[in-house]
Structure 1
Amino acid sequence: MDEHDLAVKLKQVLLRNKYLLVLDDLWDAKAWNLLERSLPDDANGSRILITSRLQNLSLQFKPDSKVHHLRHLTDEESWNLLQKKLFGKEGCPPRLSGVASQTAKSCKGLPLTIVLVAGILANTAEDCWKEVTKRLTSSIILDDEYCMKTLELSYSHLPDDLKPCILYFGAFQEDKSVPVRRLLWLWISEGFVRKTKGMRLENVADDYLKDLVDRSLVMVSEQRIMGGAKACRVHDLVHEFCVKKAQDENFLHILHSQNDCFIFTSPSNPLRVCDRSARNLMIRESMLEFPNARNLLSFKEDDSGFWLPKLLRVLDLGKLVFGEYFPMEVLLLAQLRYLALRLNLIDSIPAATADLSRLQTFLARGEYSSDFLLPKTIWNIKTLRHLWTTNPEVGFIFPVENLEASPGLDRLDSLSLAIDPSSQSLQKIPTKLPNIRRLRCKKKASREEPTRIGDGILVFDCLNQLESLTLRYFDRYRFKFPLNLKKLTLRMTKQPWSEISTIGKLPKLEVLKLCRNSFVGEEWEMKEEEFPKLRVLKLSRLCGSRSWTSSSDNFPRLEKLIVHNCWMLEEVPSCLGECPTLEMIE
């Protein structure tokens, strides 16, 4: 029978009958589109169940369909499944229950893993089970041909843009969470993220990550306070697959120890080399050519210099600390797009940094104590997207000499800034950063007497694209905020509660964090119709606040209220209990 005749026959069989149809493991809507015309709806309780690894697939053909997201199995459920696969209805004999239950727990709630492990144990002598459990790693499980085919199938169905993104997880340590912001910046620097009209590269990269999560290849390990992923990881099985696939495709090579030198003599050297040695933990990627190179890079703690391939795009020197000098060899890397250094006792960045004319991300790592003075030439790096520090207590200091004549950094998206508010710097610098979205700003240490309250107004309202703003140590200052602001964090700003109405009027504000001594005074009395879009409110270490009064028209969209270490606060407003959107008080 041809396809048309089959469709007619199927409809005849199902007509006026109550049926359950299961379509297992769909990858697109094509199968549904072929079958839909053959599926009668007689309103008699018939049901169609579809399973897929793509969480959003159902929306392509039936937007109102009910989606059930599968969770990981509990330890008890894992144990029951392993018993069923190994022993059937008889159950596990007592002599094996200890080692078998431990094995089930090590499978981390993934049914596929449990089934594969059951197959291994079923073909192993009972007196060797304990040894198998000790050696139960993803590499053992991956020897199973079925598992490899399963992961290969998921990989082959990925769009071409996503394949290098998932393989990149092989560069990170197994079973470790990866900060999402850093991951997306690396993807962009590597050139994985395709330019899309009307979208920033950071937003496109975020969509890539969401797609990998929807396909169940990446797991969100830490959520942001207002949703979205803050950190992510892949399961051990997926990580091992990524490492093997990356090596097979010459995408990545991993150095596992200090003595694991990599010799670049083959005509087909890998594009990336990652050093996982315990002492340095460096990622060194995007090696595109290695003319006459004998090895990549071998550090010792007393090294005073080092050699780097000139076509390096991404350089992350991990735990290697530069305490007295800036590594000038880095400044010869004309192709560099991503640079992460652990700096200590260094308070200025050399002018030759401008030679890194393609640099997109400069990440300063470490628990250093002093801010970093940028050179005048920093304004010449037109490609800069992110100037960031991992320590929120420090920032970059921009040069302000001849600022009017300096070009702007039109692509800068994220900035950790240290600034002297008593000068005119804060009024001048924002005009040079027209497209910045995320700004973390702290008061630069100053020997001058603090300004009296009311004497200073810090203006940020010219930053029309700014969505996230963090302010630290600007005590005794007032602020003008941009109307586009979605997230605001204040710490040690010592504002009187009368000033909070300025924040309450921001039309798009969704997250507000009032941290340590950001506001002082005993009473917070809210005015009508404040915080119209606020979803998350966090109050932390507001030590002097006793009273907080609100009305029922405040916080119409509040979802989360977090109160930490506000020792004097007597109660939260009772009207919050009437808020229809409130999900959690912590």
Structure 2
Amino acid sequence: MLIQMWVAEGLVYRMQHIGSNEETLEDVGEQYLQELVQRCMVQVGQKRSIARIKTCRLHDLMRDFCVEKAKSENFLHVINIDHESNEEIEAPIGEVRRVAISGGSSPMRHGFTLPSTSQKYFHLRSLLTFSVPLKEQSMLRNFKYLRVYMGMHFTPKINSLIHLRFLSIRDPIVSSISSLGNLKCLQTLDLRGIDWLGNVPNDMFINMEHLRHLYLPRKSKIRGKLQLPNASKLQTLVNIPVSVCDVKDPRVGFDEFGKELMPSNFTFNCLHVLKIIEHGMAKRVTTTPMVMSCPHIFQLRLEGKMEKLPEHDKISQHLAQLKLKETHLEEDPMLILEKLPNLKILHLSFTAYTGKKMICSVRGFPQLQSLILHSLDGLEEWEVEEGSMPNLYHLKIEFCRYLKMVPDGLQFVGNLQKLEIVGMGPSFEGRLGKGGQDFYKIRHVPSLEVIPFRFYLSPGQTATVE
């Protein structure tokens, strides 16, 4: 999100060309961030499966220096309503370009008003609120040239911010977002903070010609076929309901998720992240056309019944992270997935595979680092051949209740550092202890965590997986 905000404000401005591949502004922004890390100005929190930065932070001293310098230069003003006095909070913010408001434990947690509400904040370019809603939503009309807005509450008055490039709403209860159709300059729209969204007009995004990143709520109801503009520019599609999707391009488009999903001559050249969720369709669907149309995708998540996986040569060789949930695959997915040269993270959960046996072949999964098997209720036997998964670092087996034992070949996975066994039953767990029948398979693993089912869930909790 940080890089998307930079792009929205125009802070990332140059394009580079390497051979025939044109870098996106987000790629250039990633280079900016990497340079800050190399100069020890920014610290890396977590990295993504493709070695890009997922989270970052500043050292306390560096943060204090940057905040003070940014304030003196009218670059950024940070307001923490928990730590500052009322006089400091209510002081005029001047001609500052960016305001970030945080807090939440003070009496003002139910609403915050920028000082001098009658002032026209035409100079303001970014407004970020963390855990603090704006008390007077009507004041948004004073932010005429706002480009970045992250808010705790949704209001139809947002439609007056016609210059917005980045919009993130973290309001769990929203009845309608139809007013957003007026925001033609949006590049990033993040609605994941909304619990459920119904009655979404199918054409509300069609005029957002610059849209690159679209995050819909996990649960949403679209009226008719959801129309999206300029598919060639899209880089991120999250929580897209496949049964109601119609991506439009000046030349081509698709009408349904199935055999005619994508024309054979069309590709999403910029799409890097795709998450598709569909639990409402009775028949199985095929993902091959969609996956083939994303040659540069590195993160893919599929939820819902599928006919089968595409052949490995139809899947992007750049794919680094794959999550399958409730796909009900009948054929062993490992036979295909183990041939992906750069796959580093694989999650199979909640009947992603319904078969009884799974095999990881020799030389399979050359780059796999993390594997999670969760609630594969049909799985009884898992075979790992010597030479498979040479770089596996983390393995988690969770609630696969009919799996009899860990695979014998696990003893040959020498790089394995962490093994988690959750809710697998006394018989399975007992085999792993010292003196157990399977101890020899995992004795080389430095970290073994066994969590019986009775200790895994607190009263009233249910098991979930990302």
Question: Is the shorter-chain TM-score for this pair beyond 0.5, marking a shared fold?
Answer: yes
Please show how residues 219-234 of structure 1 align to structure 2 within 5 Å.
Answer: 219-224=43-48, 227-234=51-58
> 1:397–1:504: structure 2 CA closer, same or farther, 3 Å change rule?
farther
Instruction: Show the 5 A alignment for 1:383-532.
Output: 383-389=210-216, 393-394=218-219, 400=225, 408-421=230-243, 424-427=255-258, 433-443=268-278, 445=280, 450-451=282-283, 456-459=285-288, 460=290, 461-472=292-303, 474-475=304-305, 477-480=307-310, 482-484=315-317, 485-527=319-361, 529-532=363-366
Q: Which residue number corresponds to residue 349 of structure 1?
A: 177
Unaligned runs of 5+ in 1: 1-181
CA positional deviation for 1:476: 5.2
- What is the DSSP-based 3-state SS (H/G/I as helix, E as strand, rest coil) of the residue aligned with 2:232? coil
CA-CA distance at 1:551 after TM superposition: 1.6
Within 1, Cα distance between the matches of 2:7 and 2:122? 26
Q: What amino acid sits opposite 2:63 in the alignment?
A: H
1:213 aligns with 2:12: no
- Separation in 2, partners of 1:367, 1:356: 19
Provide the rounded CA distance (Å) in 1 between the counterparts of 2:112 and 2:236.
Answer: 24
CA displacement 1:225-260 (0-9 Å, x = unmatched): 675543222122222111111111111123344963
Aligned counterparts of 1:281 and 1:301: Cα–Cα separation in 2: 4
Partner letter of residue 164 of structure 2?
L
1:558–1:272 Cα change, 3 Å: same
Please list every run of 5 or more consecutive structure 2 residues that lacks an aligned counterpart in the other structure: 17-21, 115-119, 246-254, 421-466
**Is the Cα contact below 8 Å between 2:267 and 2:294 reproduced in 1?**
no
Give 1:196's match in structure 2, choosing from 15, 18, 21: 15
How far 1:513 sits from its partner (Å)? 1.2
User: Relative to structure 1, is the Cα distance of residues 444 and 565 closer, same or farther in structure 2, using a 3 angstrom cutoff?
Assistant: closer
Name the SS for the 2:71 alignment partner.
helix
Q: In 2, distance between residues paired with 1:411 and 1:425?
A: 20
Deviation at 1:415, TM superposition (A): 1.1
- Identity over aligned pairs, percent: 26
- How far apart, in 2, do the equivalents of 1:375 and 1:314 lie? 25
Q: How far apart, in 2, do the equivalents of 1:444 and 1:305 lie? A: 40
Q: Following the alignment from structure 1 to structure 2, what is the Cα–Cα distance between the partners of residues 281 and 554?
A: 56
Going by fraction, where is helix more abundant, 1 or 2?
A: 1
Considering only CA atoms, is the larger Rg found in Structure 1 or Structure 2?
1
- SS, match of residue 275 in structure 1: strand
TM-score between both structures, scaled by the size of structure 1: 0.56
How far did residue 493 of structure 1 move? 1.5
Q: Which residue does 1:75 correspond to in 2?
A: none
Shift of 1:333: 1.6
CA offsets 1:142-191 (integer angstroms, 9 cap, x no match): xxxxxxxxxxxxxxxxxxxxxxxxxxxxxxxxxxxxxxxx2222222222
**How far apart are the structure 2 equivalents of 1:398 and 1:414?**
22
Distance in 2, matches of 1:225 and 1:540, equals 20
- The letter of the residue matching 1:232 is C
Give a deviation string over 1:115-138, Cα, whole Å, max 9, x none: xxxxxxxxxxxxxxxxxxxxxxxx
Other-structure match for 1:178: none
Q: 1:240 to 1:300 in 2, by over 3 A?
A: closer
SS at match of 1:384: coil
Q: 1:361, CA displacement in angstroms?
A: 0.8
Distance 1:418 1:397, change over 3 A: farther
1:67-90 Cα distance to aligned partner (Å, 9 max, x none): xxxxxxxxxxxxxxxxxxxxxxxx
Aligned to 1:290: 121
In the alignment, is the contact (CA less than 8 A) between 1:395 and 1:442 conserved in 2?
no
Distance, in Å, in 1 between the alignment partners of 2:285 and 2:12 is 43
Query: Partner residue of 2:195?
Result: 368
Between the aligned partners of 1:189 and 1:441, the Cα distance in structure 2 is: 25
Output the CA distance in 2 between the equivalents of 1:551 and 1:410. Answer: 42
Kindly state the Cα deviation for residue 499 of structure 1 after the two structures are TM-superposed: 4.3
Aligned-partner SS, 2:68:
helix
SS at the partner of 1:244? helix
Select between 429-438 and 235-244 the one with higher mean Cα deviation: 429-438
Q: For 1:498 and 1:256, locate their aligned partners in 2 and report how far apart those are by CA, in whole Å.
A: 53
2:375 corresponds in structure 1 to: 541
Contact 1:462–1:482, Cα closer than 8 Å, also in 2: no
Distance 1:475 1:328 in 2: 36
Tell me, in whole angstroms, the C-alpha distance in 1 between the residues paired with 2:54 and 2:200. 29
Q: Deviations over 1:464-523 (max 9, x none)?
A: 222211012x13532436233332101122222434423333344332111232112332
> How far does residue 567 in structure 1 lie from its aligned partner after superposition?
4.1
Count residues with an aligned counterpart.
377
- 1:419 and 1:365 map into 2 onto residues whose CA distance is 14
Q: Which residue of 2 aligns with 1:337?
A: 165
